[in-house]
Amino acid sequence: MDWNAFNLSLQLAAWTLALLLPIGVVTGRWLAKTQTRARPWLQAFFALPLVLPPTVVGYYLLIFTGTRSPLGELIMSWFGVSLVFSFPGLVVASILVNLPFAILPVQRAFEVVSSELYDAAACCGMTPWQTFTRVEMPLAWPGVLSAAVLTLGHTLGEFGVVLMVGGNIPGETRTLSIAIFDRVQAFDPLAAGQMAGFLLLISLVTVALGYGVLERRERRRRRST
Amino acid sequence: MRNWRTCIAVLFFWSTVPFYAVPAFANGPLIAAAASIRPALEELSARYNQVTGQSVRLVFGSSGTLANQIANGAPYALFLSANTAYVQWLVDLGFTQGVPVTYASGVLALYSRPGLLVQTENPLLALGYALEGGTIKRLVIANPEYAPYGSAARAALEHAGTWAQAKQVLLVGANAGQAVQYALEGDVDVAFVPMPLARLAELQKTGHLQALPSEAFPNVELDQQMVLLRGADQKTREFFAYLQSIDSREIFSRHGLGAPQVN
Amino acid sequence: MLSIRIENNTPALKVDFGLPMGTLSAIVGPSGSGKTSVLRAVAGLLAPSHSLISFDNDVWADTETRYFRPAYQRPLGFVTQSFGLFPHLTATENVSAALNHLPRRERGVEAQRFLELVGIGGLADRQPSELSGGQSQRVAMARALARKPRLLLLDEPFSALDHSTRKRLRVELKRLQDALAMTVLFVTHDLDEAAELSQNMVLLRRGQVVQQGPTRELLRRPSTVEAARLMNFANLAKAEWVGSDASGITLRWGDVLLNAEIGPKSPPEGQIYWTIRTSDVFLVKDDHPNESSLGTILSADITEIIEMGSSVLVSVIVARSGGESLRLRLRPGALHRHNVSKGSRIRIALHAQSLVLLQS
């Protein structure tokens, strides 16, 4: 069992969640409320990672942010960090690939908050921030939780884009899913199977917990109607 | 109602846990090596650790993929390819330091299921007969586009005039290692594999394994070359030197690789 | 005064009127007339391209100076058509949501007070999903009032409720307005509701004001044909100007001469119309003692009698009017007393005070 790889997987999931969740909430909420005619295009754009193979995303990231690209050189000179074959690069890639998981459930959740409630809140004297914390979030948080659980589960298992963008660097980009692949290539099916089973268990428990919370809330809501 | 705040709090707590978890990994130089020499290199690096107390980190893949990664900025310090072409490519692009060194000579082996091929001195001929006779359902090689053993395999088939027929039953592995894997677990009749890996997977127990002479694949060389890369430091140079020592020669040859041909 | 001046493209609006403080006013019009948009503009939920809205000399919106005070900073309460109760909060919590200016501890007590004020003190812990239409409306009302607003805005507040609840709540609204001395502005498509409740009325159609003023005035004297149509005046006929003197205006209707007490001194431009409320047309018995005091007496033939519960609608064709018809509204008793039926010839009286001249 490669604990180092597991630690990397956890860190990747944690960083992705921490950075992507606010992005997802802001974007999802905006998409739910905006009237712009470009909305279907924007929705399609954010849903792209669902349709594209992760290796394609990884490929383009490599091309556009690799050390040979102008963007990559810029980032290297500004921050001294490379976005390919490094952990920060994995985080960036992971954020991109998980965008649809973070945005879509949130968008659906905020769509349920009718415009009448916004009007009522404003006429109760609530500032926009108060409206957000006391009316919108209490009604939309299941969507946010859904987004978090999906992102988490998806990142733990992410393989294609991690391999493309990160390579297989132990201690840096060899996440658990990559380590499993590595063990298979080394003709070590036992270790591979062990780690795969572990990953399966962790993912299952995480997602089940998340849905358990949602289920409880749904049941409570249904009982009161 | 209040739930969402606890929800967010739990999520943030969870997400900070890994930051004070498991401490960092040993940070030796990164060595990128062809998948075909995995068993040899793993033993070598263990030996190196024993002898000098230093450790290195190993990353395996097909030579072409690794060369591409290097060109895209992968932080490897040393590259061990399964041929010379990729090394030369990197030299031309300016990603290397110093002169490339041939550390071994690759051996391409033909694996076949028992009784499938006639036992001859020219296994490729027997393969040709079998292909024509339609008894071969699946033939595995590594990807000829970027795995040296794969391009050697294709060259061998082309030279024997059986490439067209082989293509119809062809199964391609992403690298030499994967080709061996298919041979091991898939329902495969014939496979072109690197000898070291084939020995490691003990393919000789499940079928017939025969080394092919380098004349079988003209115009393709399997001179395993290695070269220091731009990020190489003193530790890397020391390992690089070790790979050229008698110790290493012995380990390489024990794993089925030939001695480096000096031209 | 609540001064409202709005010009906008979508939705199309062009209004300019003012309402006195402390009164209950209604904006009336058919659906699509823009009344909800006007209300939302006053509330600060809509920012028209051009507007000037001020309440008691406090400017809330002025596109000239690019000033727009957001809704949550205006001292108003708003009850929307479907009440907009926060589904995740109880009745008390809904009302407390408007009490941010109070310390947390006092909010619950104050909320309870307002719930009792609107008559549902016992429903404090219910969720909106557990409340009936009328109860929800009251919670929404309590929430709107909790801020002690100076202006209360209501958007079709009773349209989602059943008839008896509606009647009850109308009375309570009147009571509340009296007790709390607020300015109330409500929007409705129901003319009867507006007639019953409001002191001032604004008639709106296709985003423009048709007529505005004290309700009683409007109901008795529409100024234009459009206003008369909006207020469901059944009688509408063309006439020609004959002359005017000290006693009033004389009109020619077909071959008949009519008198109207109130009207312009000189002939107005365009076609003249006149109208009279159906309840102001009287049936005259043949042996009436003081006929001349009733106004112009005309003969007519009954073409239709429709009994509608507490009143009877009678359509007649007036002789020598050129085949034009009029409608009268009678009490059922009056109909039977006169013992008439379809086809009978009767006499009707049109009093000069009741006749209203309209411009087109």
From the list C73, C84, C88, the residue facing A138 with the nearest CB is: C88
pLDDT greater than 80 at residue C113: yes
Give C15-31 pLDDT, tens digit per residue: 999 999 989 999 999 98
From the list A125, A130, A135, the residue facing C86 with the nearest CB is: A135
In a domain, B19, yes or no: no
Distance from CA of C82 to the nearest CA of A (A): 8
Average pLDDT over chain C, rounded to an integer? 88
Whether the Cβ atoms of residue B105 and residue B222 lie closer than 8 Å to each other: yes
Give A39-53 pLDDT, tens digit per residue: 999 999 999 988 988
Give C238-264 pLDDT, tens digit per residue: 888 888 888 888 888 888 888 888 887
To the question of domain A3-224 being in CATH 3.40.640.10, the answer is no
Residue A74 at interface with chain B, using a CB cutoff of 8 Å: no
Residue positions counted in chain B = 263
In a domain, B41, yes or no: yes
Burial class, C266, CB count within 10 angstroms (exposed 0-12 / middle 13-18 / buried 19+): exposed
Put residue A90 in one of left, alpha, beta given phi > 0 → left and psi -120 to 50 → alpha. alpha
Residue B35 domain boundaries: 30-106+222-254
From the list A11, A62, A148, the residue facing B18 with the nearest CB is: A11
| DSSP string for residues in C12-23 | TEEEEEEE-TT-
Select the more confidently predicted residue: C21 or C333. C21
Helices (DSSP H) in chain C: which residue ranges?
Answer: 35-43, 91-96, 104-117, 133-146, 163-180, 191-197, 215-220, 225-230, 332-338
Mutant choice from C100, C110, C141, C151 vs A, greatest count of A C-beta within 10 A: C100
Residue of C nearest to A123 (CA): C72
Is C86–A117 a contact, with Cβ atoms under 8 angstroms apart?
Answer: yes
Select the more confidently predicted residue: C292 or C211. C211
Please tell me the predicted confidence (pLDDT) of residue A42.
Answer: 92
Average pLDDT over chain A, rounded to an integer? 88
Is A122–C82 a contact, with Cβ atoms under 8 angstroms apart?
Answer: no
**Which residue is listed with tokens 């001020």?**
C54
Please tell me the predicted confidence (pLDDT) of residue B11.
Answer: 67
Q: Are B97 and B50 members of one domain?
A: yes
Distance from CA of A196 to the nearest CA of B (A): 18
Instruction: From chain C, pick out residues whose CB is under 8 angstroms from the CB of A224.
Output: 127, 129-130
Question: Which of the other chains make 3 or more beta carbon contacts under 8 angstroms with chain B?
Answer: A
Q: Are B173 and B233 members of one domain?
A: no
Please tell me the predicted confidence (pLDDT) of residue C184.
Answer: 93
Please tell me the predicted confidence (pLDDT) of residue B4.
Answer: 66
Residue C10 at interface with chain A, using a CB cutoff of 8 Å: no
Q: Are B102 and B228 members of one domain?
A: yes
Mutant choice from B11, B31, B197, B230 vs A, greatest count of A C-beta within 10 A: B11
Please tell me the predicted confidence (pLDDT) of residue B10.
Answer: 67
| Total structural domains within chain B | 2
- DSSP reduced 3-state for B177: helix
Looking at residues C115-133, what average pLDDT do you find? Answer: 88
From the list A3, A169, A170, the residue facing B22 with the nearest CB is: A3
Q: Are B60 and B160 members of one domain?
A: no
From the list A82, A138, A187, the residue facing B1 with the nearest CB is: A138
Q: Are B100 and B130 members of one domain?
A: no
Residue A122 at interface with chain C, using a CB cutoff of 8 Å: yes
pLDDT greater than 90 at residue A67: no
pLDDT classification of A85: cutoffs 50, 70, 90: confident
Q: Are B193 and B245 members of one domain?
A: no
| Domains defined for chain C, CATH in brackets | 2-222 (3.40.50.300), 233-359 (2.40.50.100)
Question: pLDDT tens, position by position, for chain B (263 residues)?
Answer: 456 666 666 666 666 655 554 444 557 899 999 988 888 999 999 999 999 988 899 999 888 889 988 988 888 999 999 888 899 999 999 999 989 999 988 889 999 888 888 777 788 888 888 888 888 889 999 999 888 899 999 999 999 888 998 899 899 988 888 888 888 886 788 999 988 888 888 888 888 888 888 888 888 888 889 999 988 889 999 999 999 998 899 998 888 888 887 64
CA distance readout (Å), C47 to A32, C51, C70, C71: 21, 8, 9, 10
Give C272-317 pLDDT, tens digit per residue: 888 988 888 888 887 777 777 888 888 888 898 888 888 889 898 9
In a domain, B20, yes or no: no
Please tell me the predicted confidence (pLDDT) of residue B158.
Answer: 92
Distance from CA of A8 to the nearest CA of C (A): 40
pLDDT greater than 80 at residue A126: yes
ipTM of the complex: 0.78
Give C162-200 pLDDT, tens digit per residue: 888 888 888 888 888 888 888 999 999 889 889 988 999
Q: Are B124 and B207 members of one domain?
A: yes
Residue C165 at interface with chain A, using a CB cutoff of 8 Å: no
CA distance linking residue C40 with residue C47, whole number of Å: 9
In a domain, B9, yes or no: no
In a domain, B6, yes or no: no
What is the rounded radius of gyration, in angstroms, for the C-alpha atoms of chain B?
A: 22
CATH code, domain carrying B236 = 3.40.190.10
Looking at residues C44-68, what average pLDDT do you find? Answer: 92
Domain ranges of chain A: 3-224
Residue A38 at interface with chain C, using a CB cutoff of 8 Å: no
Q: Are B118 and B200 members of one domain?
A: yes
Q: What is the largest distance, in Å, between two alpha-carbon atoms of chain A? A: 68
Strand-by-strand arrangement of the C50-55 sheet: C67-68, C58-62, C50-55, C2-8, C13-19, C208-214, C200-205, C24-28, C183-188, C151-155, C76-79
